[in-house]
Amino acid sequence: DARVTQTPRHKVTEMGQEVTMRCQPILGHNTVFWYRQTMMQGLELLAYFRNRAPLDDSGMPKDRFSAEMPDATLATLKIQPSEPRDSAVYFCASGLPQGLEQYFGPGTRLTVT
Amino acid sequence: AQSVTQLGSHVSVSEGALVLLRCNYSSSVPPYLFWYVQYPNQGLQLLLKYTSAATLVKGINGFEAEFKKSETSFHLTKPSAHMSDAAEYFCAVSVGTSYDKVIFGPGTSLSVIP
Work out whether the CA dihedral B22, B26, B29, B33 comes out positive or negative. Answer: negative
Chain segment A63-74, per-residue pLDDT in tens? 999 999 999 999
* pLDDT at residue B97 is higher than 70: no
Intra-chain end-to-end CA distance of chain A, in Å: 36
What pLDDT sits at residue B74?
A: 96
Mean residue pLDDT across chain B: 92
* pLDDT at residue B30 is higher than 90: no
- CB contact under 8 Å between B100 and A98, yes or no, is yes
Chain segment B78-91, per-residue pLDDT in tens? 999 999 999 999 99
Alpha-carbon distance of B34 to A18, in angstroms, equals: 35
* pLDDT at residue B100 is higher than 80: no
Residue from B33, B44, B50, B98 to probe the interface with A (highest A Cβ count within 10 Å): B44
Average pLDDT over residues A71-96: 96
What pLDDT sits at residue B102?
A: 87
* Residue A99 pLDDT class (50, 70, 90 cuts): low
Residue with the bigger pLDDT between A5 and A100: it is A5
Question: Which residue of A lies nearest to B108 if distances are taken between CA atoms?
Answer: A42
What pLDDT sits at residue B54?
A: 86
What pLDDT sits at residue A84?
A: 97
Q: Which residues of A touch B97 (CB under 8 A)?
A: none
Alpha-carbon distance of A37 to A19, in angstroms, equals: 17
CB distance A63 to A48 below 8 Å: no
Amino acid at B66: E
Question: Which residue of A lies nearest to B92 if distances are taken between CA atoms?
Answer: A43
Question: Which residue of B lies nearest to A91 if distances are taken between CA atoms?
Answer: B43
